[in-house]
């Protein structure tokens, strides 16, 4: 049995589902029935169940709840895609849980998160800077950061958002992070033909949506373009239909395209 596992800790967008004070169909079902309709903010967990290593992609504001829910007692490392608050604020929850954690990301991202969000020096972060298209190895995981397109709320800072490509044995796992459809060509070549694609898919059927996130339809087209064997849609907003309805719309069999949900687990 493969010891590597992917867990979707949070499948929601900045607001999560249900949105506070909202009575739309998705939020109503989420409040009544919980998961898979209820969504916490985005984060992924990669586990080596044999060696006991846990690696996070981003630390959402819901990290404490997510790790308790999954029974995770210690995190070995964090990889940051970008500096936006809904992807980083959970970092402070390492305080009084563990004294150290290794943090990977582009230098500008890592420094922004740890210098502005970090809880002083109470959490000792080992900063591991990486460059776009640089291959890194950490314990059981080999990965490469690749540029994506997500300029929104950059605060006039030159901080490049990235996704991550993991080589996990024979499995090629691509995680887009937050991005619009205009992913650079070099990045598309790198992540071509992934076994698993985890794709930003913000909202379904929105004619005038901004360009810094993909729509559900754009994410599905990206999966087809990349020839992904399996695609998991994440970063989903409450403006989408309830979970089962959205799944029927994108892939009734859920064999090629899966609408991601909190607690989704996939052996790699």
Q: What is the CATH number of the domain that holds 22?
A: 3.60.15.10
Q: For residue 155, what pLDDT is reported?
A: 62
Q: For residue 2, what pLDDT is reported?
A: 65
Q: How many CA atoms lie within 13 A of 133 on its CB side?
A: 7
Q: For residue 206, what pLDDT is reported?
A: 65
Q: For residue 123, what pLDDT is reported?
A: 79
Instruction: Determine the structural domain holding residue 207 and report its residue range.
Output: 4-267
Mean pLDDT over the full length of the chain? 92
Helix (H, G, I), strand (E, B) or coil at 135: strand
Phi, psi of 108 (to 5 degrees): -65, -35
Q: CA Rg, the chain, in Å?
A: 17
Give the contacts of 163 (CB within 8 A, at least 6 positions apart): 81, 145, 146, 148, 174, 175, 176, 177, 179, 183, 187, 191
Overall number of domains in the chain: 1
pTM: 0.94
Residues of the chain with pLDDT under 70: 1-2, 119-120, 152-156, 206-210
Q: For residue 154, what pLDDT is reported?
A: 64
Q: How many CA atoms lie within 13 A of 230 on its CB side?
A: 15
78-113 pLDDT, tens digit each: 999 999 999 999 998 888 888 889 999 999 999 999
Token digits for 164?
Answer: 């991550």
- How remote is the C-alpha of 123 from its chain's centroid? 23
Tell me which residue of 55, 54, 60 sits closest to 82, measured CA to CA: 60
């Amino acid at each position: 049995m493969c010891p590597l596992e992917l867990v979707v800790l949070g499948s929601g967008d900045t607001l999560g589902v249900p949105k506070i004070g909202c009575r739309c169909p998705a939020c109503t079902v989420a409040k009544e029935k919980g998961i898979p309709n209820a969504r916490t903010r985005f984060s992924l967990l990669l586990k080596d169940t044999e060696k006991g290593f846990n690696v996070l992609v981003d630390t959402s504001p819901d990290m404490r709840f997510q790790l308790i829910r999954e029974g995770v007692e210690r995190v070995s490392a964090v990889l940051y895609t970008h500096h936006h608050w809904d992807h980083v604020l959970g970092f402070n929850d390492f305080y009084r849980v563990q004294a150290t954690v290794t943090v990977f990301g582009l230098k500008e991202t890592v420094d922004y998160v740890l210098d502005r969000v970090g809880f002083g020096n109470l959490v000792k972060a080992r900063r591991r800077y990486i460059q776009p298209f640089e291959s890194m190895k950490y314990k059981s995981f080999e990965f490469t950061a690749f540029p994506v397109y997500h300029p929104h709320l950059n605060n006039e800072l030159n901080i490049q958002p990235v996704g991550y490509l993991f080589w996990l044995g024979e499995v090629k796992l691509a995680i887009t992070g937050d991005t619009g459809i205009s992913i650079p060509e070099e990045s598309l070549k790198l992540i071509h033909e992934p076994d698993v694609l985890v794709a930003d898919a913000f909202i379904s059927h929105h004619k005038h949506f901004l360009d810094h996130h993909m729509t559900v339809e754009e994410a599905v087209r990206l999966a087809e373009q990349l020839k992904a064997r399996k695609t998991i849609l994440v970063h989903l907003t409450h403006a989408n239909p309830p979970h089962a309805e959205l799944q029927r719309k994108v892939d009734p069999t859920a064999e090629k395209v899966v609408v991601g949900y909190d607690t989704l687990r996939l052996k790699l």
